[in-house]
Amino acid sequence: MEKNLTDAKQLNGVTLAYLGDAVYEVYVREHLLNRGIVRPNMLQKTAKSFVSAKAQAALIAGMEAQSLLSDDEWEMFKRGRNAKSYTHAKNTDVVTYRTSTGFEALFGYLKLDGQLARVDELAQWCIDYVENGGTGHGKA
């Protein structure tokens, strides 16, 4: 893999979210396939509980409740949440949409910064959290 020359801290939140959306989505898709879900319509329906703006906002709330994120990670979340976006929320309110943008920015930042073990750790925590009904049984 080519060495990344992009300084993740210099990118705006929407750019980080662009990558982070894809990064997190891959973890979710692999998880669903590993669960034996192979029908496209069922994959799409099940993935929503992990990747919708509402689900991502709930994951950030869970991370906050469990004090999972470092100060640096919170800074990147806030950069994404507060970024000026030219797209509009679909099927959700603006606050939830912006929170989910922050969630995605966090994943984009960690990926670009080369913190792959932390990406793995947080993605697994998110998957466990959703699988356990948001009861806080994720481990990070």
Q: Give catalytic residues, as residue numbers.
A: 21
User: Amino acid identity of 64?
Assistant: E
Q: Quick count: other Cβ atoms within 10 Å of Cβ 107?
A: 28
Nearest to 51 by CA among 126, 128, 133: 126
Q: How far apart are CA 46 and CA 35, in angstroms?
A: 11
CA distances from 104 to 14, 18, 111 (A): 9, 7, 11
Asked if residues 78 and 86 have their Cβ atoms less than 8 Å apart, the reply is no
